[in-house]
Protein backbone atom coordinates (compact mmCIF):
# COMPACT_ATOMS: atom_id res chain seq x y z
CA UNK A 1 0.00 0.00 0.00
CA UNK A 2 2.82 2.42 0.90
CA UNK A 3 4.59 1.67 -2.39
CA UNK A 4 1.45 2.38 -4.41
CA UNK A 5 0.87 5.66 -2.56
CA UNK A 6 4.45 6.77 -3.15
CA UNK A 7 4.21 5.92 -6.84
CA UNK A 8 0.93 7.76 -7.11
CA UNK A 9 2.52 10.80 -5.47
CA UNK A 10 5.46 10.72 -7.91
CA UNK A 11 3.03 10.42 -10.82
CA UNK A 12 1.17 13.52 -9.66
CA UNK A 13 4.37 15.57 -9.56
CA UNK A 14 5.30 14.43 -13.06
CA UNK A 15 1.89 15.41 -14.35
CA UNK A 16 1.96 19.00 -13.12
CA UNK A 17 1.54 21.58 -15.86
CA UNK A 18 4.88 23.14 -16.92
CA UNK A 19 3.57 26.55 -15.86
CA UNK A 20 2.99 25.26 -12.31
CA UNK A 21 6.46 23.70 -12.20
CA UNK A 22 7.94 26.98 -13.37
CA UNK A 23 6.27 28.87 -10.53
CA UNK A 24 7.59 26.32 -8.02
CA UNK A 25 11.11 26.44 -9.48
CA UNK A 26 11.11 30.26 -9.37
CA UNK A 27 11.42 30.08 -5.56
CA UNK A 28 14.65 28.04 -5.69
CA UNK A 29 18.12 29.56 -5.47
CA UNK A 30 20.19 29.69 -8.65
CA UNK A 31 22.15 26.52 -7.98
CA UNK A 32 19.00 24.48 -7.34
CA UNK A 33 17.36 25.87 -10.48
CA UNK A 34 20.21 24.33 -12.44
CA UNK A 35 19.91 21.04 -10.59
CA UNK A 36 16.20 20.54 -11.20
CA UNK A 37 16.82 21.12 -14.92
CA UNK A 38 18.85 17.89 -14.91
CA UNK A 39 16.15 15.67 -13.35
CA UNK A 40 14.10 14.92 -16.44
CA UNK A 41 13.02 16.37 -19.78
CA UNK A 42 9.77 17.79 -18.38
CA UNK A 43 11.55 19.63 -15.59
CA UNK A 44 14.26 20.85 -17.95
CA UNK A 45 11.63 22.29 -20.28
CA UNK A 46 9.88 23.94 -17.34
CA UNK A 47 13.10 25.69 -16.31
CA UNK A 48 13.20 27.45 -19.68
CA UNK A 49 10.17 29.45 -18.61
CA UNK A 50 11.38 33.00 -18.05
CA UNK A 51 9.49 33.33 -14.78
CA UNK A 52 12.02 30.90 -13.26
CA UNK A 53 14.94 33.23 -13.96
CA UNK A 54 13.30 36.61 -13.48
CA UNK A 55 15.77 39.01 -11.84
CA UNK A 56 18.58 36.42 -11.70
CA UNK A 57 22.15 37.59 -12.32
CA UNK A 58 24.23 34.96 -14.13
CA UNK A 59 27.80 34.69 -12.80
CA UNK A 60 30.12 33.54 -15.57
CA UNK A 61 33.73 32.52 -16.12
CA UNK A 62 34.27 33.33 -19.80
CA UNK A 63 37.47 31.45 -20.51
CA UNK A 64 36.73 29.39 -23.61
CA UNK A 65 34.28 29.39 -26.49
CA UNK A 66 30.87 27.92 -25.71
CA UNK A 67 28.46 28.42 -28.62
CA UNK A 68 25.41 27.32 -26.62
CA UNK A 69 25.99 29.58 -23.59
CA UNK A 70 24.50 32.88 -24.70
CA UNK A 71 21.54 31.38 -26.63
CA UNK A 72 20.70 29.40 -23.49
CA UNK A 73 20.80 32.54 -21.35
CA UNK A 74 18.65 34.44 -23.83
CA UNK A 75 16.10 31.59 -23.89
CA UNK A 76 15.84 31.76 -20.11
CA UNK A 77 15.34 35.52 -20.22
CA UNK A 78 18.60 36.31 -18.36
CA UNK A 79 19.35 40.03 -18.62
CA UNK A 80 21.89 40.49 -15.83
CA UNK A 81 25.48 39.25 -16.16
CA UNK A 82 28.43 39.26 -13.78
CA UNK A 83 31.69 38.30 -15.47
CA UNK A 84 33.95 36.66 -12.89
CA UNK A 85 36.86 36.18 -15.29
CA UNK A 86 37.23 37.24 -18.90
CA UNK A 87 39.52 35.71 -21.48
CA UNK A 88 37.27 36.31 -24.45
CA UNK A 89 36.14 39.39 -26.36
CA UNK A 90 33.82 41.67 -24.43
CA UNK A 91 32.09 42.34 -27.72
CA UNK A 92 31.05 38.69 -27.80
CA UNK A 93 29.38 39.08 -24.42
CA UNK A 94 27.49 42.25 -25.37
CA UNK A 95 26.43 40.86 -28.73
CA UNK A 96 25.41 37.51 -27.29
CA UNK A 97 22.65 38.99 -25.09
CA UNK A 98 20.92 41.75 -27.10
CA UNK A 99 18.53 42.72 -24.27
CA UNK A 100 21.25 42.92 -21.59
CA UNK A 101 20.24 45.24 -18.75
CA UNK A 102 23.06 44.88 -16.22
CA UNK A 103 26.75 44.16 -16.87
CA UNK A 104 29.11 43.64 -13.92
CA UNK A 105 32.82 43.51 -14.81
CA UNK A 106 34.12 44.35 -11.34
CA UNK A 107 37.59 42.95 -10.76
CA UNK A 108 38.20 42.07 -14.43
CA UNK A 109 41.64 43.65 -14.51
CA UNK A 110 42.24 42.87 -18.18
CA UNK A 111 39.35 45.04 -19.42
CA UNK A 112 40.87 47.90 -21.42
CA UNK A 113 39.79 50.95 -23.40
CA UNK A 114 40.36 48.97 -26.58
CA UNK A 115 38.15 46.14 -25.38
CA UNK A 116 35.33 48.52 -24.49
CA UNK A 117 35.75 50.35 -27.80
CA UNK A 118 35.27 47.08 -29.65
CA UNK A 119 32.22 46.16 -27.55
CA UNK A 120 30.37 49.47 -27.61
CA UNK A 121 30.04 50.34 -31.29
CA UNK A 122 26.30 51.05 -31.29
CA UNK A 123 23.63 52.15 -28.85
CA UNK A 124 22.56 49.62 -26.22
CA UNK A 125 19.31 51.13 -24.90
CA UNK A 126 18.51 48.31 -22.45
CA UNK A 127 21.69 48.57 -20.35
CA UNK A 128 20.94 50.55 -17.19
CA UNK A 129 23.66 49.18 -14.85
CA UNK A 130 27.41 49.01 -15.57
CA UNK A 131 30.00 48.04 -12.94
CA UNK A 132 33.66 48.63 -13.86
CA UNK A 133 34.99 48.63 -10.29
CA UNK A 134 38.72 47.85 -10.10
CA UNK A 135 39.06 47.80 -13.90
CA UNK A 136 42.22 49.83 -13.44
CA UNK A 137 43.13 50.09 -17.12
CA UNK A 138 40.00 52.07 -17.92
CA UNK A 139 40.64 55.73 -18.80
CA UNK A 140 38.62 58.77 -19.82
CA UNK A 141 38.33 57.48 -23.39
CA UNK A 142 36.06 54.67 -22.27
CA UNK A 143 33.79 57.07 -20.40
CA UNK A 144 33.30 58.97 -23.63
CA UNK A 145 32.20 55.81 -25.41
CA UNK A 146 29.92 54.84 -22.51
CA UNK A 147 28.33 58.30 -22.58
CA UNK A 148 27.79 57.95 -26.33
CA UNK A 149 26.28 54.46 -26.51
CA UNK A 150 24.74 53.79 -23.05
CA UNK A 151 22.50 56.81 -22.75
CA UNK A 152 19.95 55.06 -20.54
CA UNK A 153 22.51 54.14 -17.89
CA UNK A 154 21.24 54.70 -14.34
CA UNK A 155 24.04 53.09 -12.30
CA UNK A 156 27.77 53.46 -13.03
CA UNK A 157 30.34 51.94 -10.67
CA UNK A 158 33.90 53.20 -11.21
CA UNK A 159 35.44 52.50 -7.80
CA UNK A 160 39.18 51.95 -8.06
CA UNK A 161 39.44 53.19 -11.67
CA UNK A 162 42.42 55.28 -10.73
CA UNK A 163 43.18 56.63 -14.23
CA UNK A 164 39.91 58.53 -14.57
CA UNK A 165 40.18 62.31 -14.42
CA UNK A 166 37.81 65.27 -14.43
CA UNK A 167 37.83 65.12 -18.23
CA UNK A 168 36.06 61.77 -17.97
CA UNK A 169 33.45 63.27 -15.66
CA UNK A 170 32.84 65.98 -18.23
CA UNK A 171 32.09 63.30 -20.81
CA UNK A 172 29.69 61.61 -18.37
CA UNK A 173 27.98 64.96 -17.83
CA UNK A 174 27.41 65.31 -21.56
CA UNK A 175 25.86 61.93 -22.22
CA UNK A 176 24.36 60.22 -19.16
CA UNK A 177 21.31 62.31 -18.35
CA UNK A 178 19.47 59.47 -16.58
CA UNK A 179 22.30 58.56 -14.20
CA UNK A 180 21.12 58.09 -10.61
CA UNK A 181 24.06 56.36 -8.92
CA UNK A 182 27.75 57.12 -9.52
CA UNK A 183 30.58 55.61 -7.48
CA UNK A 184 34.02 57.23 -7.89
CA UNK A 185 35.73 55.65 -4.89
CA UNK A 186 39.52 56.08 -4.97
CA UNK A 187 39.45 57.95 -8.28
CA UNK A 188 42.16 60.18 -6.89
CA UNK A 189 42.75 62.18 -10.06
CA UNK A 190 39.35 63.86 -10.12
CA UNK A 191 39.19 67.43 -8.85
CA UNK A 192 36.62 70.04 -7.91
CA UNK A 193 36.22 70.87 -11.61
CA UNK A 194 35.04 67.30 -12.27
CA UNK A 195 32.31 67.59 -9.65
CA UNK A 196 31.39 70.92 -11.23
CA UNK A 197 30.87 69.10 -14.53
CA UNK A 198 28.53 66.58 -12.86
CA UNK A 199 26.58 69.44 -11.30
CA UNK A 200 26.31 71.29 -14.62
CA UNK A 201 28.06 74.38 -13.30
CA UNK A 202 31.01 74.75 -15.67
CA UNK A 203 30.40 77.36 -18.41
CA UNK A 204 31.60 75.23 -21.32
CA UNK A 205 30.16 71.92 -20.09
CA UNK A 206 26.83 70.15 -20.44
CA UNK A 207 23.83 70.48 -18.17
CA UNK A 208 25.26 67.81 -15.89
CA UNK A 209 23.88 64.67 -14.26
CA UNK A 210 21.11 66.41 -12.42
CA UNK A 211 19.15 63.21 -11.68
CA UNK A 212 21.93 61.84 -9.45
CA UNK A 213 20.65 60.48 -6.15
CA UNK A 214 23.72 58.62 -4.86
CA UNK A 215 27.30 59.88 -5.19
CA UNK A 216 30.33 57.99 -3.87
CA UNK A 217 33.47 60.09 -3.47
CA UNK A 218 35.30 58.00 -0.89
CA UNK A 219 39.07 58.56 -0.87
CA UNK A 220 38.96 61.23 -3.61
CA UNK A 221 41.68 63.20 -1.91
CA UNK A 222 41.88 66.17 -4.28
CA UNK A 223 38.34 67.26 -3.52
CA UNK A 224 37.79 70.32 -1.34
CA UNK A 225 34.86 72.27 0.04
CA UNK A 226 34.37 73.71 -3.45
CA UNK A 227 33.09 70.32 -4.59
CA UNK A 228 30.46 70.37 -1.88
CA UNK A 229 29.40 73.81 -3.01
CA UNK A 230 28.97 72.45 -6.55
CA UNK A 231 26.96 69.52 -5.20
CA UNK A 232 24.63 71.70 -3.14
CA UNK A 233 23.88 74.03 -6.05
CA UNK A 234 23.56 71.57 -8.92
CA UNK A 235 22.71 68.09 -7.57
CA UNK A 236 19.53 69.00 -5.75
CA UNK A 237 18.08 65.47 -5.99
CA UNK A 238 20.99 63.88 -4.14
CA UNK A 239 19.98 61.53 -1.31
CA UNK A 240 23.30 60.00 -0.24
CA UNK A 241 26.93 61.12 -0.42
CA UNK A 242 30.05 59.28 0.73
CA UNK A 243 33.00 61.56 1.52
CA UNK A 244 34.93 59.21 3.78
CA UNK A 245 38.71 59.72 3.76
CA UNK A 246 38.36 63.04 1.91
CA UNK A 247 40.86 64.82 4.12
CA UNK A 248 40.49 68.27 2.54
CA UNK A 249 36.78 68.53 3.32
CA UNK A 250 36.20 70.86 6.28
CA UNK A 251 33.38 72.17 8.43
CA UNK A 252 32.84 74.98 5.92
CA UNK A 253 31.96 72.41 3.26
CA UNK A 254 29.43 70.78 5.56
CA UNK A 255 27.61 74.10 5.66
CA UNK A 256 26.76 73.60 1.96
CA UNK A 257 25.44 70.08 2.51
CA UNK A 258 23.23 71.31 5.36
CA UNK A 259 21.24 73.35 2.83
CA UNK A 260 20.23 70.28 0.80
CA UNK A 261 16.65 69.31 1.63
CA UNK A 262 16.85 66.00 -0.24
CA UNK A 263 20.01 64.67 1.47
CA UNK A 264 19.34 61.69 3.75
CA UNK A 265 22.69 59.94 4.29
CA UNK A 266 26.17 61.44 4.78
CA UNK A 267 29.38 59.49 5.33
CA UNK A 268 32.27 61.59 6.71
CA UNK A 269 34.27 58.73 8.16
CA UNK A 270 37.94 59.60 8.73
CA UNK A 271 37.53 63.18 7.49
CA UNK A 272 40.14 64.66 9.81
CA UNK A 273 39.01 68.27 9.41
CA UNK A 274 35.42 67.71 10.51
CA UNK A 275 34.65 68.83 14.05
CA UNK A 276 31.75 69.68 16.34
CA UNK A 277 31.28 72.88 14.34
CA UNK A 278 30.40 70.92 11.21
CA UNK A 279 27.78 68.93 13.12
CA UNK A 280 26.43 72.23 14.35
CA UNK A 281 25.96 73.37 10.74
CA UNK A 282 24.05 70.17 9.96
CA UNK A 283 21.81 70.74 12.93
CA UNK A 284 21.13 74.36 12.02
CA UNK A 285 20.19 73.35 8.49
CA UNK A 286 17.20 71.44 9.78
CA UNK A 287 18.10 68.68 7.35
CA UNK A 288 16.26 65.40 6.95
CA UNK A 289 19.37 63.29 7.45
CA UNK A 290 18.54 59.77 8.59
CA UNK A 291 22.07 58.28 8.59
CA UNK A 292 25.35 59.95 9.59
CA UNK A 293 28.83 58.49 9.96
CA UNK A 294 31.59 60.60 11.52
CA UNK A 295 33.63 57.71 12.88
CA UNK A 296 37.35 58.37 13.42
CA UNK A 297 36.81 62.13 13.28
CA UNK A 298 38.74 62.80 16.46
CA UNK A 299 37.66 66.44 16.60
CA UNK A 300 34.06 65.35 17.16
CA UNK A 301 33.11 65.25 20.84
CA UNK A 302 30.24 65.74 23.26
CA UNK A 303 29.38 69.16 21.89
CA UNK A 304 28.85 67.64 18.48
CA UNK A 305 26.36 65.13 19.92
CA UNK A 306 24.56 67.98 21.64
CA UNK A 307 24.29 69.79 18.31
CA UNK A 308 22.85 66.68 16.67
CA UNK A 309 20.28 66.32 19.43
CA UNK A 310 19.10 69.86 18.75
CA UNK A 311 18.36 69.53 15.05
CA UNK A 312 18.67 66.11 13.38
CA UNK A 313 15.34 64.74 14.52
CA UNK A 314 15.07 62.33 11.56
CA UNK A 315 18.31 60.56 12.47
CA UNK A 316 17.97 56.78 12.69
CA UNK A 317 21.57 55.61 12.25
CA UNK A 318 24.60 57.24 13.87
CA UNK A 319 28.23 56.10 13.80
CA UNK A 320 30.70 57.92 16.04
CA UNK A 321 33.30 55.18 16.53
CA UNK A 322 36.65 56.38 17.91
CA UNK A 323 35.32 59.90 18.46
CA UNK A 324 36.15 61.90 21.58
CA UNK A 325 32.76 61.43 23.23
CA UNK A 326 31.76 60.64 26.81
CA UNK A 327 28.77 59.74 28.92
CA UNK A 328 27.41 63.29 29.04
CA UNK A 329 27.24 63.56 25.26
CA UNK A 330 25.51 60.20 24.90
CA UNK A 331 23.04 61.19 27.60
CA UNK A 332 22.07 64.40 25.82
CA UNK A 333 21.82 62.63 22.47
CA UNK A 334 19.53 59.77 23.43
CA UNK A 335 17.15 61.92 25.45
CA UNK A 336 16.13 63.67 22.22
CA UNK A 337 16.88 61.28 19.37
CA UNK A 338 15.01 58.36 20.90
CA UNK A 339 14.08 56.90 17.48
CA UNK A 340 17.65 55.77 16.74
CA UNK A 341 17.78 52.17 15.51
CA UNK A 342 21.54 51.90 14.92
CA UNK A 343 24.23 53.34 17.20
CA UNK A 344 27.91 52.61 16.59
CA UNK A 345 30.10 53.85 19.45
CA UNK A 346 32.96 51.35 19.29
CA UNK A 347 36.45 52.43 20.40
CA UNK A 348 35.02 55.33 22.38
CA UNK A 349 37.06 54.42 25.45
CA UNK A 350 35.64 57.17 27.69
CA UNK A 351 32.20 55.58 27.75
CA UNK A 352 31.09 53.74 30.88
CA UNK A 353 27.99 51.96 32.14
CA UNK A 354 26.34 55.37 32.49
CA UNK A 355 26.07 55.57 28.70
CA UNK A 356 24.54 52.11 28.50
CA UNK A 357 22.08 53.09 31.20
CA UNK A 358 21.05 56.18 29.18
CA UNK A 359 20.71 54.05 26.05
CA UNK A 360 18.64 51.40 27.83
CA UNK A 361 16.30 54.04 29.24
CA UNK A 362 15.67 56.02 26.05
CA UNK A 363 16.41 54.05 22.86
CA UNK A 364 13.46 51.67 22.91
CA UNK A 365 13.67 51.09 19.13
CA UNK A 366 17.40 50.26 19.03
CA UNK A 367 18.21 47.28 16.80
CA UNK A 368 22.00 47.39 16.51
CA UNK A 369 24.82 48.72 18.69
CA UNK A 370 28.60 48.51 18.28
CA UNK A 371 30.58 48.52 21.54
CA UNK A 372 33.84 47.18 20.09
CA UNK A 373 36.77 48.27 22.25
CA UNK A 374 34.66 50.01 24.91
CA UNK A 375 36.78 48.70 27.75
CA UNK A 376 35.18 50.68 30.59
CA UNK A 377 31.78 49.04 30.38
CA UNK A 378 30.80 46.06 32.52
CA UNK A 379 28.14 43.39 32.74
CA UNK A 380 26.03 45.81 34.78
CA UNK A 381 25.70 48.17 31.82
CA UNK A 382 25.25 45.37 29.32
CA UNK A 383 22.33 44.01 31.29
CA UNK A 384 20.56 47.34 30.82
CA UNK A 385 20.71 47.29 27.03
CA UNK A 386 20.09 43.55 26.78
CA UNK A 387 16.60 44.29 28.08
CA UNK A 388 15.80 46.19 24.87
CA UNK A 389 13.30 43.98 23.05
CA UNK A 390 14.22 45.28 19.58
CA UNK A 391 17.98 44.69 19.91
CA UNK A 392 19.25 42.09 17.42
CA UNK A 393 22.91 43.01 16.85
CA UNK A 394 25.52 43.59 19.55
CA UNK A 395 29.25 43.85 18.85
CA UNK A 396 31.43 43.37 21.94
CA UNK A 397 34.82 42.68 20.32
CA UNK A 398 37.85 43.34 22.59
CA UNK A 399 35.56 43.64 25.62
CA UNK A 400 36.67 41.87 28.77
CA UNK A 401 34.15 40.88 31.39
CA UNK A 402 34.38 42.95 34.53
- Shared-domain flag, residues 48 and 76: no
Question: What integer pLDDT is reported at residue 188 of this predicted model?
Answer: 94
Q: What is the mean pLDDT of the chain?
A: 88
Residues forming a β-bridge with 317: 291, 342
Are residue 49 and residue 61 in the same domain, yes or no?
A: no
**Same domain membership, residue 80 and residue 50:** no
Q: Is the pLDDT of residue 6 over 50?
A: no
Q: Which domain holds residue 64?
A: 56-243
118 and 202 inside one domain = yes
pLDDT digits (tens, 9 = 90+) for 135-178: 999 999 999 999 999 999 999 999 999 999 999 999 999 999 99
On whether both 196 and 96 belong to a single domain, the answer is yes
**Whether residue 67 sits in one domain with residue 48:** no
State whether 289 and 354 are in the same domain: yes
Distance CA 78, CA 52 (A): 10
Do residues 177 and 286 share a domain? no
pLDDT surpasses 90 at 189: yes
CB neighbour list of residue 373: distance below 8 Å, 6 or more residues apart: 346, 347, 349, 397, 398, 399
Q: Domains in the chain: how many in total?
A: 3
Strand residue runs (E) in 114-245: 129-131, 155-157, 181-183, 214-216, 240-242
357 lies in the same domain as 398: yes
Give the pLDDT confidence of 207-237 residue by residue, as tens digits: 899 999 999 999 999 999 999 999 999 999 9
Under the banding of pLDDT at 50, 70 and 90, the label for residue 5 is very low
pLDDT, tens digit, for every residue of 44-83?
Answer: 666 666 666 677 777 888 877 778 788 878 877 888 888 8
Please tell me whether residues 92 and 8 are part of one structural domain: no
Residue 1 has pLDDT above 50, yes or no: no
Asked if 244 contacts 219 with a C-beta cutoff of 8 angstroms, the reply is yes
**390-396 average pLDDT score:** 94
How far is Cα of residue 279 from the mean position of the Cα atoms in its chain?
24
Share of the chain above pLDDT 70, in %: 87
Amino acid sequence: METQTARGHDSNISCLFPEILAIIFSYLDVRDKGRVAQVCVAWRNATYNRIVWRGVEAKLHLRRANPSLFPSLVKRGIRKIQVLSLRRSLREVIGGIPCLESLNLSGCYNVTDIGLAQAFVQEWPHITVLDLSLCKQIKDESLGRIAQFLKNLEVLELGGCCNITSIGLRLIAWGLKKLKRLNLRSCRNISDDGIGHLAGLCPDAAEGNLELEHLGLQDCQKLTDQSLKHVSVGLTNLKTINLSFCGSVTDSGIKYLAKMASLQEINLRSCDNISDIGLGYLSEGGSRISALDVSFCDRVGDQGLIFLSQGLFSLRSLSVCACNIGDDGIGRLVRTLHDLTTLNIGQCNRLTDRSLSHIGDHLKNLKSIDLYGCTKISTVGLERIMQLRTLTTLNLGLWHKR
